[in-house]
Chains A and B, each alone.
Chain A
């Protein structure tokens, strides 16, 4: 018999995420998946799960869950207080949650997105090979609401745990290495200098689709219209208002605003943990 969680408190936005559904961009399907994939994988590894087993991704305010059977869980990613049945419990390490006790994942103290992995993984119905919630196109399970029941898969055999798992905290300043292109030629040399030297901040309007920037606008050098073209993860798209948006996992697969540069993929996990107001610096890689 497998366990299920009842959602006691769904938090600001809690979604099911795994490695996403890459390979369908030509159909207009975003890749989706955990924004901080290294955090998801580490939480799964600590439980003996497959690295890409489905987890819950919270946003700023955490969530609270009550299992109907004893389960083992790991809360990782953004650092936050954790409690089980009202008693403080470990963050970043396996915790036992007895049947009927509430696992409370508190508000993020640092970072944005905490991950709740459970031995056996979250057992939502896969869509196109993934259990991820895609907020742009609405594929996968809906975001959690209070009272929702979330099924858990069959727990793996307990495995020896790695000692001292490293959980990087969010940086005080988000440094995003970028390669210029594919549409850097839509911008003046002055605009490209602004991108590489400007003081940007993470906008509170950021979400799983994109990390929006506040700071000096990048004016298009031409006023033409760009025909729709394929967009990559990490694309720095510049809409007509000039404020760059770094595309995250739920980004649209095609778009009509020029992409001035692309953030190198290893930096995107940190981007997903950068809270509103975090200073951002783009550096040419």
Chain B
């Protein structure tokens, strides 16, 4: 895959470049390439690398014009299924919108979890709140609209769907997504005192797994990049 004409580099002020790609997959591939080049020391100094749905913002660039000419010639390999770090997020499928989502999907409410768990997701980008990742990977037939009326308070740990995205709320905020479940220990999502503050950083692969029947108490680690929870493994049914 070479992007060629499907890549548009748009200037954003004097020191930033917004690189626009044709779709989410090319965006993930381009973002991965930017990170590879930064790790290899072949990317000019950049202060921020901020992926979006179809864009990657390169901010704090000395010469955006030169970088724009550079990226136009990059060979960008596609992302592969095992690219990026993998994390598992335990979920209890007990959200208040489970029945609505089941109706939209044309399945029974108790089947929603299995359908949701059957896919591997990737953090396309973050935003809205620190540690809030927009996860892609849900097939188009399972995309659901936002709720007509947003909630004034969505609890921390709510596992939610909207459009092409799945997400877990790192803390209680207002929100308009459809809530299908709960991550028992949402503190694992965002902890600025930790070396790695956000569990979900752009490019991370995510699998949702069944949470233990007993709710996880506070202080337990929950999901982390190092742990691989075995809970729910092998429940490949549905979808």
Contact = CB atoms under 8 A, between A and B. Distances in A.
Contact of A229 (B18, B192, B202): B18
A139 B192 contact: yes
A179 B55 CA distance: 19
A229 B52 contact: yes
Q: Is the interface of A mostly helix, strand, loop or mixed?
A: loop
A181 interface: yes
A232 B13 contact: yes
Interface string A249-285: 0001111000100111100000000000000000000
Given A27-B130, A28-B131, A179 B52 contact: no
Contact of A26 (B10, B132, B192, B202): B202
Q: Specify which of B11, B131, B192 lies most central, judged by the most chain A CB atoms within 10 Å of its CB.
A: B192
Contacts of A156: none
A22 B50 CA distance: 12
Classify the secondary structure of B's interface with A.
strand
Nearest to A254: B127
A210 B60 CA distance: 20
Given A252-B128, A253-B127, A26 B14 contact: no
A27 B13 contact: no
A232 B59 contact: yes
A127 B11 CA distance: 31
A171 interface: no
Interface in B37-75: 47-57, 59-60
A264 B13 contact: yes
Given A137-B130, A252-B128, A265-B13, A27 B52 contact: no
A234 interface: yes
A23 B57 CA distance: 12
A179 B12 CA distance: 8
A232 B130 contact: no
Given A182-B10, A232-B59, A26 B48 contact: yes
A105 interface: no
B57 A230 contact: yes
Interface residues on B, range: 35 or more
Contacts of A128: 192, 197
A232 B47 contact: no
B201 interface: yes
B106 to A, nearest CB: 26
A224 interface: no
Most buried by A among B10, B13, B51, B126: B13
Contact of A25 (B11, B14, B55, B59): B59
A40 interface: no
B198 interface: yes
Contacts of B131: 27-28
B6 to A, nearest CB: 15
Interface in B197-216: 197-198, 201-202
Given A22-B47, A25-B59, A254-B125, A182 B12 contact: yes
Contact of B50 (A25, A183, A262): A25
A182 B52 CA distance: 14
A19 interface: no
A235 interface: yes
Contact of B57 (A183, A232, A263): A232
A227 interface: yes
B129 interface: yes
Interface in B104-141: 125-132, 134
A227 B50 contact: no
Contact of B126 (A253, A255, A259): A253
B53 A232 contact: no
Nearest to B203: A26
Given A235-B12, A252-B127, A27 B47 contact: no
A29 interface: yes
Contacts of B13: 179, 232, 234-235, 262-265
Nearest to B134: A228
19 contacts: A22-B47, A27-B126, A27-B131, A27-B197, A27-B201, A29-B130, A139-B130, A139-B192, A181-B18, A229-B52, A229-B53, A229-B54, A230-B48, A230-B56, A231-B57, A253-B127, A254-B52, A262-B12, A264-B14
4 closest Cβ pairs, A-B complex: A230-B57, A262-B13, A227-B53, A230-B50
Interface of A: 22-29, 127-128, 137, 139, 179, 181-183, 227-232, 234-235, 252-255, 259, 262-265
Given A229-B18, A259-B12, 17 more contacts: A25-B48, A26-B49, A26-B125, A27-B126, A28-B128, A28-B198, A127-B193, A179-B11, A179-B14, A182-B12, A227-B52, A228-B125, A229-B54, A230-B56, A232-B12, A254-B50, A262-B13
